[in-house]
Amino acid sequence: MQESILNAFTEQAKSMYAPLAKFNSLFVDNMEKMTDFQLSAIKAYAEMGIEQMKKAADIKDADTMRTFTAAQAEAATALNKKIMEDAKAFSDMAMEFKTQVESIMEEARSSAQASATTTKPAAKPKTAA
């Protein structure tokens, strides 16, 4: 009797904590992916900025100044494009995470509902009036 109660408790604990373990794993994976993404984005922005500083340092006369100034619109367009692409990629990652969390929650809800329907409450003893 006690062994069956302990086994039932163990199974319920496993089913109860399984979604939490999945969520924790998903959370860590997502944080790693977003951190890698942000670090690579920061590196790309820093490289763009350093490139522009090097070009500005190479200005020697009016002609190189004119060339540099004309190239700034192109650099600004490239930077704007990169920012928009990064924002979309980051948003896509967030939406994927949300979808995966919803999937885990639905799986946990379904499991809990199935467990609740298969577990029958103990019959109450009838009392004499």
Residue pair 105/19 in contact (Cβ under 8 Å)? The answer is yes
Residues whose CB is less than 8 angstroms from the CB of residue 56 and which lie 6 or more positions away in sequence, other chains included: 68
Whether 126 maps to a domain, the answer reads: no
Question: Does residue 29 sit within a domain?
Answer: yes
Residue 32 covered by a domain: yes
pTM: 0.70
pLDDT category at 120 given cuts 50, 70, 90 is: low
User: pLDDT confidence of 111, banded at 50, 70, 90?
Assistant: confident
* More confident site: 100 or 117: 100
pLDDT in tens, 23-51: 999 999 999 999 999 999 999 999 999 99
Name the residue with tokens 């500083």. Answer: 53
Q: Considering the domain boundaries, does residue 51 fall inside one?
A: yes
pLDDT beyond 80 at 122: no
| Residue 116, in any domain of the structure | no
Has residue 55 been placed in a domain? Answer: yes
Instruction: Report if residue 127 sits inside a domain.
Output: no
Question: Is 69 inside a domain boundary?
Answer: yes
Give me Rg for the CA atoms of the chain.
29
Report the pLDDT averaged over residues 62-76.
Answer: 93
Count of structural domains within the chain:
1
Q: Can you give the residue range of the structural domain that contains 57? A: 2-107
